[in-house]
Every structure is written in C-alpha cells, then in structure tokens.
Chains A and B, each alone.
Chain A
Amino acid sequence: MTGRYLLRRLLDAVLTLFGVALVIFLVLRVIPGDEITARFGIEGGALTDAQIESLRSYYGLDQPLPVQFFSWLGSVLSGNFGVSVTSGNAVSELILSALPVTIELAILASIIGTALGVVLGVFSAARPNSVADTAAQGFGLLGLGIPNFVLAAAVVAVLSAQFGYFPSAAGYAPFFEAPLVNLQQQLYPALVLGIGLAAATMRTTRSAYLEEASRDYVRSAKGKGLAPRRVRWRHIMHNASIPIVTISGIQFGYLLGGTVIVEQIFALPGLGRLVLTGIEQREYAVVQSVIVVIAAMFVLVNLAVDLLYARIDPRVNLS
C-alpha cells in the first residue's frame, strides 16, 4: 500500500465531502421559508418588516449564498454545528450523544448479519440444491423482501401484545451506565437490521463459495485427503472472503443511514431519530449537520473497506 495512493484517496474523499456539504446546503435552501418562518411559525406573520430584516441579518440570511455556505462550512470544520432552536442545546452536543447509540446499533447489527449470513451461506453452498440449500435460499429471498420497518413494526407489535413489553419503555440506558439494560434495548432493533443484512451476506457468501469450490486447488485439497471441514473453511472460505468483506463493509456504511426508521420505531435516541425530529420541527441546522456527519462516516467506511481489500487480497493493485 503506497503512501501516494492513500493520499490520493484521502484527497478524493475530501473533495467528495465538499460536494456532499454543498448538495445538502443547496437542497435545504430549496425549502420554502427560512429559519425565521420555521422558528416563529404563524407568529412570523405578525413581525414588522424591520423586525424580519434584523432577524435575517442576525441569522446571516441576508448574505449572498456563497458567503452563507462558506461561513457554515467554516464553522462546521471548527466543530461548531450551530444551536438547536427547540431544545436550546448545541447541535454538536446532540450529535455526540446520539452517535454512540447509532454506532453501537450498527456494530451489533453487522455482527449478527455477518455471522448469520456467512454460516447460512456456507451451510447452503456446501450442499447445493439440497433441502437445506433451498431453505437457506428462501431465507435469503425473504430477508431481502421484508423491509426492516415492517419487521420492526411486527416485532414491536408482537412483543407488546403478547408480553406487554417495549424495549425502551423506561427511557434509553447508555451502555456505560447500564450495559445489560442497554444490550436488551439494542437487541431487538439489532436483530431486525441483522436479518436483512444476513440475507444479503448469505447470498454473496453462497455465490462466492460456489465460485471457489469449483477450482482446481479445491480438488487437489480434497484429493490429498484433507478433512472436508478444513477444506471448507481454510481453503475455500479464505479465498471467498473478499466479496464477503466488501459487502459487509458496504452494509456497515448503509447501516449508518439505514437505522433511521428502526431507531424511530424502537425509540432509540440515535442519529436517525435526530434527523427525523429535525425534519419534523424544521430544524435545518440539525438536519444538515447530522446528514453531513453521517455522509462523512460513510465515505470513511468505504475508504477503509477499499484499503482492507488490499490487505486481504495481495492481487489487488492499488495504483
């Protein structure tokens, strides 16, 4: 892995993130009304022109768009995301408290999804067209076909109807304060997300495994009498792991945004919920900051996956 390659990829990522910030800034400026109408609502109509003018200059809304953009970008880069009008908290504080919730959920869901997906995939590919294979493929199809909000709604409905239980009923417990309660609260949403991931991972694992299983080195390994389990995991899976790592990485990136609805349904105070409340309360400072933060993580995760690629597969040429 050459330093020059790393530098170029980092530069690329920075350029992309600049574009991301610009897109978000422009998209949110399309919204009819501005933060003043958003803040004062109907009462805004009672303001005199002079009052509106002074508010506009207070919020910097009378500046030309490019000036507004760069001053926003500058403050974001220095860690100042603005203030949430409704709660009065700094947006950076809101993000810092929501970030661990989402990251924990994404990690748990990835672990569940990857473990389940790889095991099912190997299980299914080891005996192609058997009953087990058909069942596993059925799981893969269903897992991709059931939207996670449907699964989440069903899980919540059944839990509360049958057991009168809602995971976050008593408020969210941070991991470092009450780890066991926290894991209980994260378990169901992580399972819901994990099943969708497992389906995709299972399909990738299955086709990667079958692809490798037909190669000559596998025949040789079997021919020299290695135990099937050893051939399966040490030989085939070692070589089939590249597409699996790729899809796991891509999925982790998607999870950062994909947790939105599931967080909402399970009342987890993560980034997704922050965005949704922001949209509902027309808090554009919150919405644009959270989206930029998530996009930044997404770009970094994708970069990490690409670099990891080269560690696993020496054939990948980075230049």
Chain B
Amino acid sequence: MSQPIETIEGPAVAAAPLRRGQWLGRLWHNRNGRVGLLIMGLLALLALASALGLTPYSPIAQHPEDQLVGPSSTYWLGTDQFGRDIASRVCAGLLASLRVAVISVAIATILGAAGGIIAGYFGGWTDRIIGRLTDVLFAFPAILLALAIVAALGRGWFNTAIAIAVVYLPIFVRVARGPVLSVRSMDYIRAGKVLGYSPPRLIARHVLPNVAAPIIVQVALALSWAILTESGLSFLGLGTQPPEPSLGLMVSDARTLFDRAWWLLVFPSLAIVLAVTGLNLLGDGLRDVLDPTRSQSRGRRRRRR
C-alpha cells in the first residue's frame, strides 16, 4: 500500500460536457477501458452471486471431513483448514471489499466534490479554510491516517469505510476545485447570474456537468485504492472481522499453511490483484476518453502523427 495514491489535478480548462451515455460507448472502444470493464463486470457478478446466495456453499459453512482439500470438482478452489469452500469465500470476500469500497468512495466523492465546488465557486475565505483543511489531511501518509482513524473508531468494516472516505476526501476536494475555477468565470455562468439563478441551481445545472469528467476518473482510481486499503487493514486484523470472509484476512491466514495448501494464498490474492488492476485499467480508460489532455497514451498518439 505504499503505492502513492494516483491523483489528477483538475485540468486548467474544463473538458467539454458529456452527453449522457456517450462516454460509455467510447470507453468500450478504448483497450484499457474495455479490459477494465470486463474484469470489473466479472468480479461484480461473482460478488452478486454471493449476495444472492448462489455460490456452491455458504462462505462460513465448515466441512470437517474435507479440511485442506485441493481444488477439485467438488470444491473448485479447494477448502481451508476448517473445510470451508474457498470459491464461495472468495466471492463473499469480493462482496465485502466492494461494499466497503463503494460506500467509502461514495462518501468521499459526494462530500469532497461538494467541498471542492463550494471552495472554487465562492473563493475567498471559504476557499482558504477548505484549502487549509485539505492541506492538513494531505500531510499524513494515507495508510497511516486510515490506521489512526480505525484505531480511534474501532475495528470493523464500516469504520474502515469511514477511514478510507476521510483519506480520500481531500483528493476529491482538489480534483473538483481546479476546473470550477476556470468554469466560474465563463460567460454562461455570468449569464445565469444575471438571469437571477440561485447559486445551488447554477452549481447543480451548469457547473457540475462541466467539471464531472476529472471526478469520474478519480472515482475509478479511488475505488482501486479503497480495495487495496480495505484488504490491507483486514490483513492486519483491523478491517472486516471474522468469521465474515474478507480477502485480506484470507491472505493473512494462508501464510502459515502455504507449504500444505498453496490455494489458500493464491486465490484470494488473485481476486485482490484482479480487482485493483481492473479498476486501474478502468481509470486509465476513463482518463483517455474523458480527459484527453492527461491521457497515458498521449505520447503514443503524438508519435503517430
């Protein structure tokens, strides 16, 4: 988790507003975006199967006669030391990780974007106070801040979600604030003011659609970091608590049994890596599609000219 959080500062000039549905199609035509969508679609289906109870076994059902059985036709990914089915547990772990990731990123996006837009739109003292607060939050190495918050609130998946939300909040503030600054002085905003529109209406109808692109890209990257952090905190025993299945905890428990049961370590690890990579690809794809000035493959395109 030392991977620095990838951030993008809002571009100096806001990207063109998006027509509804248009960017999903473009995302599908982007190589990174398509692979990311496919991976995340698959993982979301697996998590959904677990949520609906469609996995072959219950993730916490113990089968004492089948302890540490390797992958087979009965147990696709093998069983652990209590005879629990790894395939079902991986699906349930995915569900747990995605739940924390989605809740935390939703909180961070809504509060962070609101803070950033308010700071950028009103400027002055509001901007300065919000800026100072985000500076302070930025002064902590991310994982350490999450650790401190979980230590304060207590273990458990919901507190982990809150910790991740607090860590990511300042990033959304910065991402949202930048483009608002350039949109604020546009003619159409001034026209709206002259027409007597209220600030909430101006922000919701005219500012937000024009600054949404970098926020959407950041959401994908935030989800990926949230999954890294959730599984890391669970690995340390601070996140999701047993017997609830969690990918990080599964990796942690598998370490001592590795010489007898490699599948215990390999499959949950693979699930984490796939989820993080899928979201990173999705983020890269979204950046290519929504924010061409900052795309990773920019250099390549230039060379082709």
A interface residues (Cβ-Cβ under 8 A, vs B): 12, 15-17, 19-20, 22-24, 27-28, 30-32, 109, 125, 128-129, 141-142, 144-150, 153-154, 156-158, 160-161, 193, 196-197, 199-200, 203, 206-207, 209-211, 213-214, 247, 250-251, 253-262, 264, 275-276, 279, 287, 291, 294-295, 298-299
Closest to B277 in A: A145
Q: How far is the CA of A260 from the CA of B147 in the complex (A)?
A: 10
Question: Given A200-B3, A254-B4, does the pair A31, B141 have CB atoms closer than 8 Å?
Answer: no
The answer to whether B236 touches A144 (Cβ under 8 A) is no
Interface pair B299/A210, CB less than 8 Å apart: yes
**What residues make up the interface of B, taking CB atoms closer than 8 Å to A?**
1-4, 6, 132-133, 135-137, 139-144, 147-149, 151-154, 228, 231-232, 235-236, 238, 248, 251-252, 254-255, 258-259, 265, 269, 272-274, 276-277, 280-281, 296, 298-300, 302-303
Contact, CB under 8 Å: A19 / B136: yes
Q: Compute how far the CA of A15 lies from the CA of B236 in the bound complex, rounded to whole angstroms.
A: 32
Are A298 and B140 closer than 8 Å at their CB atoms? Answer: yes
Q: Which residue of B lies closest to A17 (CB)?
A: B139
Point out the residues of chain B lying under 8 angstroms from A24, CB to CB: 148
Enumerate chain A residues within 8 angstroms of B3, measured Cβ to Cβ: 144, 147-148, 196-197, 199-200, 254, 258
Cross-chain contact A196 with B303 (CB below 8 angstroms): no
Q: How far is the CA of A33 from the CA of B272 in the complex (A)?
A: 35
Indicate if the CB atoms of A146 and B143 lie closer than 8 Å.
Answer: no
- Contact at B299–A213, with CB atoms within 8 Å? yes
Tell me which residues across on chain A come within 8 A of B142, comparing CB atoms: 254, 257
Shortest C-beta distance, A155 to chain B (Å), equals 10
Q: Choose from B2, B151, B298, B299 the contact partner of A254 (Cβ within 8 Å).
A: B2
Instruction: State in angstroms the CA–CA spacing of A135 and B64 once bound together.
Output: 44
A197 and B2 contact, Cβ closer than 8 Å, known pairs A23-B136, A153-B251, A264-B236: yes
Closest 3 CB pairs of A and B: A258-B2, A210-B299, A257-B141
B152 lies within 8 A of A214 (CB): no
The secondary-structure label for the interface of chain B is: helix
Is A16's CB under 8 angstroms from B148's CB? no
24 contacts across the A-B interface (CB closer than 8 A): A12-B135, A19-B135, A19-B139, A23-B137, A144-B3, A145-B277, A147-B1, A147-B231, A150-B231, A150-B273, A157-B258, A193-B2, A197-B2, A211-B298, A247-B4, A254-B2, A257-B144, A258-B2, A258-B143, A260-B143, A261-B235, A279-B147, A291-B144, A295-B140
